[in-house]
Each structure stands twice: as structure tokens, then as C-alpha cells.
Amino acid sequence: MKKTLALALAAVMSLGLLAGCGPKEPANNGGGTTNPPSSASQPQGGDASSIPDAPAGGGTVGVCIYKFDDAFMTTYRNALQEILEGKGYKVTTVDGNNDQSKQNEQINTFITQGVDALIINPCMTSAADSIIATVKAAGVPTVLINREPTAEQMSAYDKLVYVGCDAAQSGTFQGELILETPNKGDINGDGKVSYIMIQGDPENIDAQLRTEYSVKALKDAGIEVEELDLQRGDWDREKGQTICANDLAQFGDQIEVVFCNNDDMAIGALQSIQAAGRKVNEDIYLVGVDALDAALNEVKSICGDTEDTASVTLGKRHILFEVGDTELICRRLEGEFLDYKNAIPRSNPISVVAETKSLIESIDRVSVVISDKLKSPVRCLFDHDKVLLSARTGNGEARDVCRLSGDGGDLEIGFNNRYLMEALRYAPADTVKIELNTGVSPAIIVPTDEKDNFLYMVLPVRLKSAE
């Protein structure tokens, strides 16, 4: 059972946290790229409906993050918590402040509290042996994330799995994106690519592999390279900005490519590049890893708003978009796309029709007691010609009634209020048909008019009887 729980949690993350596991990749020379889904050491994910709910009575998960002020890990932990809580798990997340001794204490505290499983993002890769020995002695199923242990370390405990990205692939993609530019990174035409490397934590295997393989991709293609500088940026935006500013002052136009092990450092480097009067994709190239929202917004600002016609060139492994003076190079997904059609339930015995606006307003009214700190599912009781909605948190309790057409069969089901409202808001119709099956099956939102064509699937949130 406990081994299954570890695998289930890994499946949740490998499927639901694609961004966190690294499949969203570099913000590059004016563009971004998306990698194929990353691999877990054992589970390989499935469709969303295959992710198991928490065991009867709920399950408790302790999450240890190496530090909260890392932008990537903030995105990761927020998504992780939302997914696990949506499946009925009680989640507690703690900040290690990049202090391994503090994190060790947090792990021991979780074990003493009797959590059902642990998810650990180690502060130090070298701490893997100690962490594994601790969780093994306690018999707690554990998922390690973002700091990959060796195969030998993984084999030491049969209730241990790892979820993370292919760091070598990430680095290779960075190098290949430079090769896809018109001049293959040799902006000044001197026959070599001169670069600076802003590295994460050199002790981190991901930083080591991204550093090595980004340059290796150029060398393997027969490109001569010149390393002007390599400095440790610790995944930090301000350090990325400082390192790049100092290097631009020292090396000036010699710098043709700025490699960054993550997007946060790349955003800092971009600020220094702009301050120096240089322009990405014209007289300098910049690549990062993670595809953070902040980085994608920077890409958007580089591309700008225009009414110009876009030219699209499809290559074997990349797509090139050209708009005016801007070029955007994206890596094409490899492998088979998720078979989403099989994940959508088609045989739903319950069908009701609602006015889209009225239902959104009802959900909005009961959501008044829900906040980021005080979360609660919206409880929906589908009755004859109506749905009773309610939510209860420490802020209070809210109830509302929305009229429907059809008989809901007294089905009770819970939803994340934001997800349900987003589906309804984007439905381009005044009325929608909601198809239902059980309290733990997805709700399907489709048009009532054959002239419209849309389908939204909203996964339910496990309800507790006391809610």
C-alpha cells in the first residue's frame, strides 16, 4: 500500500506538474520552447482521470522545498499543493531556507507527526544518502524532486521514487536553439561563438549537465566555442543581473551568447543586456530554462505587438516564426501527444442545462468566503431543476441556488471554484449542458446548440462529509 502511495504521488507530479518537472523549457533568443514530458524514475503517468484520490479518511503529505524564494520552485510547490489537495490529501509545505541541517530537522518532524508520505526537494544533492537513510528507517514512502540521486542511491529503498527533468536534454536544447539561428551564434563572424555561462548551483547535477550539454551541442555540430566567463549565479535573478552586467562591461561586444541555467537568472541577464543598449536576437543571444511566466512575458515584450504578417517555417525539430524584424524559434514536441480523447468520459447518465451567466454569478457569490489561505471546494448538490451551491471556510459559510433545466438526481459533487468558473467564462454560449456521472467523475460542459463547438472537462474535488 505504501509503495503504491509513493508511486501514486509520483504519477500525480509527473502528469500534473509538467512545468515543475521541466518539460517547459528555455526562454531563448526572443522565443520559448516546450520539451517532451519529463520522466519519473518509475511511474510514467497516464491520463488525469487515472490519478488516484487520497485513501479513505484522507492522507497526509509533508513537502520539503529547498527554499521558497526560488521562482521556479514557487511555481512548482503551488501547483503541487493544489493538485494534491484537489485529490483529497492534506498537504503541509515547509521552507528549508537553503539550509540542509534545517531541512533534516523538518524531515524528522514530519516523520514524528506520522505523515503518510514525503515529497522532498533536497537543499543539497550530496545529502541524498542521509535523507534516504532517514526515510527508509521510518518506512515513509518518499518522492525526491529536482535533485536527482544516483541509481545506486535510488535502489537503497523500495518506497522511493524520483521525479525530475532531463537536465542533459535541457542543455542540449539550449545549444541546438543557438544552432538554429541564421549565424549559428557567431554574430560577429569571427568563426567562433563567444559566450558567458551563468550557472546555477555547481553542486547541483542539473546545473552541471545544463552547463556541459549546452556547449557540447555546439561542439558536436563542429562549432568552435570560446568561454569568456563562467560564474555561479545560484539560480538567483539579482546575481544573474550582476554577473551579466560585469561581463558586458568587461567583454563588451565579444559576448555573442549568454547561457543561463534557469529563467530567473536569464531575466536578470536580460535586464543588464537592455541596460547596456544591446538587443536580444540582434546583437546578442540569450537562453534560459524553465519557461516561467515572468520569462514568457519578457519574450512577449521582445516580440511586441504588431499587425505584420507572420511567416512560419516548419523544420524537422523546430518551428521558426518571423514577424517583421523578430524571429521566434520553438522546439517541437517529440513523442506521442496525450490521448486526451480517451480521458473524457462519454457515458454520463445525468444531463442538466444552465444559463451560463447565472451559474457563474452563483459560483462567484459562494466563492466570497474562499481565499488563497482559506481554501474550500464549492459543494454542488444537483437537484430537480436547480443546483444548491455552498462553501465553508474560516471566513464563514455561503450558500446560493441556481435554476437549471433537468434532474440532477441529488448528485453531490465538489469543484475548485476557479476552475469551474474559468470553464464557464470561456464557453462561448448563453446556455451550457453539464454532463455528470458520479461525485468523483469529471463534469463535462458542452454546448446546447449544435452550431457551437466546445468541450470543457472539469475534474471534481474530493468532498469530506464534515465540509
Q: Which run of H or of E encompasses 177?
A: helix 167-179
Can you give the pLDDT at residue 17?
34
Task: Compare 88 and 20 and report the one with higher pLDDT.
Answer: 88
pLDDT at 187: 95
pLDDT at position 47 over 70: no
* For residue 29, pLDDT beyond 70: no
Extents of the domains making up the chain: 2-25+33-165, 168-331, 344-458
Within its chain, how far is the Cα of 95 from the centroid? Answer: 19
pLDDT average, residue stretch 362-386: 92
User: For residue 179, what pLDDT is reported?
Assistant: 92
Q: Mean pLDDT across the stretch 90-115? A: 94
Kindly state the cell numbers that stand for 449: 446548440
Give the residue, 129 or 303, on which the prediction is more confident. 129
Which of 64-68, 179-183, 227-231 reaches the highest mean pLDDT?
227-231
Decide if pLDDT at 184 tops 60. Answer: yes
pLDDT at 46 over 50: no
Assigned CATH class of 344-458: alpha beta
Q: Which fold has domain 168-331?
A: Rossmann fold (3.40.50)
165 to 19, 146, 162, 289: CA distances (angstroms) = 10, 7, 10, 11
Quick one: pLDDT band at residue 191, thresholds 50, 70, 90? Answer: very high
Residue 431 phi/psi, 5° resolution? -130, 150
Same fold, 2-25+33-165 and 344-458: no
C-alpha cell recorded at residue 18: 509538467
In sequence order, the 6+-apart residues with CB closer than 8 A to the CB of 22 are 35, 38, 164, 165, 166, 167, 170, 289, 290
Main-chain dihedrals φ then ψ at residue 199, nearest 5 degrees: -95, 155
Confidence of residue 339 (pLDDT cuts 50, 70, 90): low
Q: Which residue has the higher pLDDT, 150 or 382?
A: 382
What is the structure's pLDDT at 345?
85
Of 3.20.20.10, 3.40.50.720, 3.40.50.2300, 3.40.50.300, which CATH number belongs to 2-25+33-165? 3.40.50.2300
End-to-end, the C-alpha distance of the chain in Å comes to: 27
For strands 117-120 and 59-65, give the pairing.
parallel
Confidence of residue 69 (pLDDT cuts 50, 70, 90): confident
State yes or no: pLDDT of 129 exceeds 50: yes
CA distance 40 to 447: 38
Long-range contact pairs involving 366-372 (C-beta distance under 8 Å, separation at least 24): 366/390, 366/391, 366/398, 366/399, 366/400, 366/417, 367/391, 367/398, 367/417, 367/421, 368/395, 368/398, 369/393, 369/395, 369/396, 369/397, 369/398, 370/395, 370/417, 371/395
- Cβ proximity of 247 and 219 under 8 Å: no
CB contact at 8 A, 260 and 288: yes
Q: Chain-wide mean pLDDT for the chain?
A: 82
> How confident is residue 323, by pLDDT bands cut at 50, 70 and 90?
low
Give CA–CA dist 49/51, Å, rounded: 6
Q: Is 249 exposed, middle or buried (0-12, 13-18, 19+ CB in 10 A)?
A: exposed
Flag whether pLDDT at 451 surpasses 80. Answer: no
How large is the average pLDDT for residues 449-461?
A: 85
What is the predicted pLDDT for the residue at 23?
Answer: 29
What local confidence, expressed as pLDDT, does residue 337 receive?
59
Is the pLDDT assigned to residue 54 strictly greater than 80? no
- Residue % of the chain over a pLDDT of 70: 77
Rounded to whole angstroms, the Cα distance separating 165 from 204 reads: 13
Mean pLDDT of 229-246: 94
Q: 28: pLDDT confidence band, cut at 50, 70 and 90? A: very low
Of the listed ranges 1-15, 111-125, 208-222, 423-437, the least confidently predicted one is 1-15
- pTM exceeds 0.85: no
Return the higher-pLDDT residue of 372 and 11: 372
pLDDT of 355 above 80: yes
Does residue 302 register a pLDDT over 90? no
Going by C-alpha positions, the residue among 191, 151, 141 that lies closest to residue 10 is 141
Statement: residue 201 has pLDDT above 90 = no
At 343 the pLDDT is 77
pLDDT digits (tens, 9 = 90+) for 132-158: 999 999 999 999 988 888 889 999 999
Would you state the pLDDT for residue 233? 94
- The answer to whether residues 356 and 424 touch, using CB atoms and an 8 Å cutoff, is yes
Q: Which of 142-151, 231-240, 266-275, 333-342 has the lowest mean pLDDT?
A: 333-342
Average pLDDT rounded to a whole number, residues 22-38: 32
How confident is the model over 39-59, as a mean pLDDT? Answer: 47
